[in-house]
Amino acid sequence: MSPLLPTAPYRGTRDFLPAEMSVRQQVFNHLYETVERYGYGRYDGPVLESAEIYEAKSGQEIANQQLYSLTDRGGRRIALRPEMTPSAARMIAHNAGSLQFPVRWYSHVNCHRYERPQRGRTREHWQLNVDIFGSDSPNCEIEIFELIHDLMGSLGADRDMWMLRVGDRAILNSILRDVVRIPHDAHQQTMALIDRWEKTPADELREQAAQFGVDRAMFDLLETTLGAGADILPDLPEEVRETSTLARVMKSEAQDLFVFDPFIVRGLQYYTSTVFEVFDRSPENNRSLFGGGRYNDLAGLFTKQQIPGIGFGMGDVTLHDFLDTHNLLPQPRSEVDVTVIPVDDDLIPASREIARLLRHAGIRTSTTLEPRKLGKELARADRSGARYAVIAGRDEWQRQAVVLRDLHDNAQHEMPLTDLAPHLTRHLTA
Ligand code: HAM
């Protein structure tokens, strides 16, 4: 006999049973409702894409270490999408002729990355993507930041539970070039170093910096400059201060929505200016929940037309940990309001008829498939979370009536069949 196969899902992926799906779906529905209130249209796309679209601009980590890639039978190199932004940029470029820019789009898709599974990191996660294409106005930043506040609020999160930290790669470039005076060819590596800053001990950072020509004095100046936060802005050249998108947002009424933080760089290569991350403020889960930024050249992979973009990706794993930490996870909801129980096998068709009547009235109704003792069936109905049981008894059925039992207090009474659906509709929605 061949050995039994394992029942656990592939490492780093998750199965979702109905109770977990119920929690997920309630959380997701809050997100969709909020995003749709801002007028974003939902789109979707294939889970398989040409591997090149990630290799070009997403950065080494995704392209070299995390991509699930394969060669199809026609010899094409394809990949499971590790993120949605390159696909979205491709779709925007493909349809640019018929779209009315700026375009507001959102999607919710599964993404795959070959990562070491750990808290907050899996190999398959669901990512809500919210993006604006075709505008480089700072009003986009303001709208996205406001939307993030509404999303968090829709989940029951207070402002003291999380914070939005925003950086700007254009400002950071100016800090590296004009203030710390780091040689140009070390900028890319310095950015990557800053991205690792909070997770790496200072000694290690210093050593790594020395390897690409950032000496101790430069490193120390970099540390104090970045640590100064918004106080560094007056030291930057006027054109950076005046023209950087984020500097303009900081002068608007939206300045209270976020904290300027030059340590925020983000790993993906395609971001061009604004970059941001939402952090959990709880000491138990002090980590980034989700993030995004502005990418003004990504569509350039697919079209000569200049189509800037800005948005973010919010993963379900980190969000779940946040909601769990702050006790904000909803309770699973039962799938069923009413269970119809025939007292005997020959009343099964009657129970089906009753169920049909209730379903047509929009009531979520299940029936007993393999009738056992009434007491057992009532206990099962109660455990399933149904609020009512409808008992199809022989005598009652002959009178075209049923017994309605409230599973909360076990009170029951006979009711004519014609009254059942209106009665339940009234009580279930009350
Ligand atoms: P990202 O920071 O790579 O950005 O991912 C966004 C979010 O997806 C993360 O903050 C996290 O919530 C979730 N996530 C990413 N990888 C994993 C993983 N291995 N396990 C669990 N969750 C994960 C992007 O993907 C950008 N494309 C987002 C974006 C949209 N930027 C602009 N528009």
> Distance from the CA of 83 to the center of ligand 1, in angstroms?
7
**Domain covering 338-428 in this structure, CATH number:** 3.40.50.800
Smallest CA separation from ligand 1 atom 26, residue? 313
Check pocket membership of 122 for ligand 1, CB cut-off 6 A: yes
| CA neighbor of 180 nearest in space, from 193, 199, 164, 196 | 193
Smallest CA separation from ligand 1 atom 20, residue? 121
Smallest CA separation from ligand 1 atom 12, residue? 315
Q: Which amino acid is at 148?
A: I
Could you write out the DSSP letters of every residue in 220-231? HHHHHHHHTGGG
Ligand 1 atom closest to residue 288's alpha carbon, by position in its atom list: 10
**How large is the average pLDDT for residues 86-106?**
98
- Output the pLDDT for position 350: 97
How far apart, in Å, are the Cα atoms of 345 and each of 122, 369, 372, 402, 417?
Answer: 48, 10, 9, 16, 20
Pairwise CA distance, residues 139 & 145, whole Å: 10
Token pair 């801002």 is found at 38
- Output the pLDDT for position 60: 84
Q: What pLDDT band is residue 226 in, cutting at 50, 70 and 90?
A: very high
Q: What pLDDT band is residue 430 in, cutting at 50, 70 and 90?
A: confident
> Distance from the CA of 430 to the center of ligand 1, in angstroms?
41
Residue 24, helix vs strand vs coil: helix
Check pocket membership of 287 for ligand 1, CB cut-off 6 A: no
Fold equal for 18-325 and 338-428: no
- Output the pLDDT for position 224: 94
Largest Cα–Cα distance in the chain? 94
- The predicted-structure confidence for 71-81, as pLDDT tens digits, reads as follows 999 999 999 99
Q: What pLDDT band is residue 315 in, cutting at 50, 70 and 90?
A: very high
> Distance from the CA of 85 to the center of ligand 1, in angstroms?
10
**How large is the average pLDDT for residues 114-128?**
97
- Output the pLDDT for position 12: 98
> Distance from the CA of 370 to the center of ligand 1, in angstroms?
46
- Output the pLDDT for position 57: 85
> To test ligand 1's pocket by mutation, which of 106, 125, 301, 319 has the most ligand atoms within 8 angstroms of CB?
125
- Output the pLDDT for position 241: 84
Ligand 1 atom closest to residue 83's alpha carbon, by position in its atom list: 25
Top-level class of domain 18-325: alpha beta
- pLDDT-above-90 percentage for the chain: 90
- Output the pLDDT for position 372: 87
Smallest CA separation from ligand 1 atom 9, residue? 290
For residue 1, is pLDDT > 80? no
Smallest CA separation from ligand 1 atom 2, residue? 291
Pairwise CA distance, residues 167 & 99, whole Å: 30
- pLDDT-above-70 percentage for the chain: 100
| CA neighbor of 397 nearest in space, from 355, 351, 360, 361 | 351
Taking phi over 0 as left and psi of -120 to 50 as alpha, with beta for the rest, 167 belongs to: beta
For the ranges 45-59, 145-159, 351-365, the lowest mean pLDDT is seen at: 45-59
Q: What pLDDT band is residue 179 in, cutting at 50, 70 and 90?
A: very high
Pairwise CA distance, residues 171 & 74, whole Å: 45
| Alpha carbon 340 to chain centroid, angstroms | 38
By DSSP bridging, strand 162-168 and strand 274-280 are: antiparallel
Residue 94 · residue 301 · CB < 8 Å: no
* Mean model confidence pLDDT for the chain: 95
Check pocket membership of 265 for ligand 1, CB cut-off 6 A: no
Phi, psi dihedrals of residue 134, rounded to the nearest 5°: 95, 15
Ligand 1 atom closest to residue 86's alpha carbon, by position in its atom list: 27
| CA neighbor of 274 nearest in space, from 130, 128, 165, 152 | 165
Q: What pLDDT band is residue 128 in, cutting at 50, 70 and 90?
A: very high
> To test ligand 1's pocket by mutation, which of 43, 83, 115, 265 has the most ligand atoms within 8 angstroms of CB?
83
Pairwise CA distance, residues 86 & 133, whole Å: 12
* Eight-class DSSP state of 84: S
Q: What pLDDT band is residue 101 in, cutting at 50, 70 and 90?
A: very high
Check pocket membership of 85 for ligand 1, CB cut-off 6 A: yes
Q: For residue 351, count other CB atoms closer than 10 A to its CB.
A: 24
Q: What pLDDT band is residue 244 in, cutting at 50, 70 and 90?
A: confident
**How large is the average pLDDT for residues 248-263?**
94
Smallest CA separation from ligand 1 atom 18, residue? 121
- Output the pLDDT for position 23: 98
Check pocket membership of 393 for ligand 1, CB cut-off 6 A: no
Q: Which helix (H) or strand (E) holds 406?
A: strand 401-406
Q: Where are the domains of the chain?
A: 18-325, 338-428
- The predicted-structure confidence for 352-374, as pLDDT tens digits, reads as follows 999 999 999 999 999 998 888 99
Find the helix packing angle between 202-211 and 187-196, rounded to 10°: 170
Q: What pLDDT band is residue 2 in, cutting at 50, 70 and 90?
A: confident
> To test ligand 1's pocket by mutation, which of 57, 126, 127 has the most ligand atoms within 8 angstroms of CB?
127
